[in-house]
């Protein structure tokens, strides 16, 4: 949910600044507050107003173009009121933030966690306070984020670290990735999601390069070689593969899952969603090992289906992207709620 449009955290790399997201005003200063979001959500979630019940799943409070706990939340409390509604209607939640303001809502989050499930994740581009002060000027420094995450962990929450995005040639080094993973391991985080940065041409790139020029001018030329200027701001596959492999080796050494573990979500998701997520995870693990995989495409096709997979078990091969081996994996998930192949890959095993 994007309860706010725009974000005064003003991270230098934020792609919410890119033209394609249509955030009006000056990004980092102007923030649109969706003051009727809670009212609309209350109507959407009310089972008495629906012909078929709203699908049960995790609701993710943490937006792509605005942190749900940015300073405006102190006054408007949209995240708090949303959590109260989600508690009322028995939803599980996953909150992703960079702000320690989430501490204010520990009480309602505890209620949700007891009743259903609340996952708390913090994002980092590194755990280096000095670098963070350059690239994340509006958020609490990493050590405060880590302390807050540790408090949630002690209170029995499932906790995640999003080491995302790492900043090319600044925080994507083996040393800084390991430092972050080590901090996560010390807290006992349940998983770390890792990823590289996108850099879209236009506002996002201009703003980012201005800061880079002031603090790391020697790195500019490297950026030109890894960002070919594609529409989505993606870096080259070779670059992403390199940093993914570095992270993967470190995470394996610290025995930290690279995806949210199945035990966290298996009782929350519908059968179709469980299949989609596990296929996505297998796809991710295979690509981490340098292989290719059709499973991401199969997961996408299944996400478009209206029927429960259990009702079309005989016709799985008609789904785009599903071949014999994928069919076998899907049937196993439907029958057992898991997959031996998934467990092997998640444990760091090969194909």
The count of other CB atoms within 10 Å of the CB of residue 39 is 11
Residues 61-120 that bind ligand SF4 (CB under 6 A): 66-67, 98
Site string for ligand SF4, 28-67 (x = CB under 6 A): --------------------------------------xx
- 183 versus 197: smaller Cβ distance to ligand SF4: 197
Task: Kindly state whether residue 16 participates in binding ligand SF4, applying the rule CB under 6 A.
Answer: yes
Contact 123, 109 (CB under 8 A): no
| 326 CB-side CA count, 13 A | 25
The DSSP output letter for 168 is: T
Q: Give the sign of the dihedral formed by CA 34, CA 40, CA 42, CA 45.
A: negative
Residue 163 pairs with which residues in a beta bridge? 124, 194
- 5 versus 259: smaller Cβ distance to ligand SF4: 5
User: Between vectors from CA 255 to CA 250 and to CA 259, what angle results, nearest 5°?
Assistant: 85
Distances (CA, A) of 33 to 26, 36, 70: 14, 9, 11
Helix, coil or strand: residue 86: helix
Helix, coil or strand: residue 154: helix
Closest approach of ligand SF4 to the CB of residue 166, in Å: 13
Rounded Cα distance between 350 and 346, Å, is: 10
Sole window of 3-11, 87-95, 150-158, 191-199 interacting with ligand SF4 (rule: CB under 6 A):
3-11
Residues 272-331 that bind ligand SF4 (CB under 6 A): none
- 1 versus 282: smaller Cβ distance to ligand SF4: 1
The DSSP output letter for 31 is: -
- 101 versus 262: smaller Cβ distance to ligand SF4: 101
Number of chain positions touching ligand SF4 (CB under 6 A): 9
Sole window of 10-18, 170-178, 212-220, 271-279 interacting with ligand SF4 (rule: CB under 6 A):
10-18
Sole window of 4-12, 257-265, 293-301, 334-342 interacting with ligand SF4 (rule: CB under 6 A):
4-12
Rounded Cα distance between 325 and 330, Å, is: 9
Residue 32 pairs with which residues in a beta bridge? 5
Closest approach of ligand SF4 to the CB of residue 136, in Å: 6
Rounded Cα distance between 341 and 142, Å, is: 36
User: Between vectors from CA 63 to CA 62 and to CA 68, what angle results, nearest 5°?
Assistant: 55
Sole window of 8-16, 203-211, 224-232, 239-247 interacting with ligand SF4 (rule: CB under 6 A):
8-16
Closest approach of ligand SF4 to the CB of residue 30, in Å: 13
Task: Kindly state whether residue 9 participates in binding ligand SF4, applying the rule CB under 6 A.
Answer: yes
Task: Kindly state whether residue 7 participates in binding ligand SF4, applying the rule CB under 6 A.
Answer: yes
Position among 1, 3, 11, 192 found at the interface with ligand SF4 (CB under 6 A): 11
Closest approach of ligand SF4 to the CB of residue 21, in Å: 10
Rounded Cα distance between 172 and 243, Å, is: 7
Interface contacts to ligand SF4, rule CB under 6 A: 7, 9-11, 14, 16, 66-67, 98
């Amino acid at each position: 949910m994007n309860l706010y449009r725009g974000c005064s955290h003003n991270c230098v790399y934020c792609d919410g600044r890119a033209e394609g997201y249509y955030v009006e005003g000056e990004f980092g200063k102007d923030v649109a507050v969706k003051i009727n979001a809670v009212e609309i959500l209350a109507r959407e979630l009310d089972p008495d107003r629906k012909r078929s019940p709203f699908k049960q799943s995790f609701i993710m409070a943490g937006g792509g173009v605005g942190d749900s706990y940015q300073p405006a939340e102190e006054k408007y409390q949209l995240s708090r009121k949303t959590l109260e509604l989600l508690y009322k209607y028995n939803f599980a939640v996953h909150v992703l933030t960079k702000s320690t303001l989430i501490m204010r809502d520990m009480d309602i989050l505890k209620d949700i966690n007891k009743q259903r499930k609340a996952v708390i994740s913090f994002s980092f581009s590194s755990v280096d306070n000095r670098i963070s002060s350059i690239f994340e000027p509006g958020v609490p420094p990493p050590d405060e984020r880590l302390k807050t995450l540790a408090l949630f962990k002690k209170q029995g929450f499932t906790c995640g670290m999003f080491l995302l995005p790492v900043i090319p040639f600044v925080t994507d080094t083996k040393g800084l990735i390991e430092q972050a993973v080590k901090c996560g391991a010390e807290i006992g985080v349940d998983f770390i999601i890792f990823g590289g940065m996108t850099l879209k041409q236009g506002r996002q790139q201009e703003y980012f390069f201005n800061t880079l020029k002031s603090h790391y001018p020697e790195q500019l030329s490297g950026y030109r070689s890894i960002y070919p200027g594609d529409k989505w701001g993606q870096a080259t596959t070779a670059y992403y593969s390199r940093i993914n492999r570095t992270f993967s080796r470190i995470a394996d050494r610290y025995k930290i899952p690279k995806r949210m573990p199945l035990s966290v979500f298996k009782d929350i998701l519908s059968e179709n969603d469980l299949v989609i997520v596990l296929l996505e995870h297998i796809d991710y693990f295979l690509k981490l090992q340098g292989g290719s995989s059709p499973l991401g495409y199969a997961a996408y096709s299944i996400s478009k289906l209206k029927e429960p997979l259990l009702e079309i078990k005989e016709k799985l091969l008609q789904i785009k992207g599903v071949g014999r081996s994928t069919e076998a994996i899907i049937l196993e998930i439907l029958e057992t709620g898991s997959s031996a192949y998934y467990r092997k890959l998640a444990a760091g095993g090969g194909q």
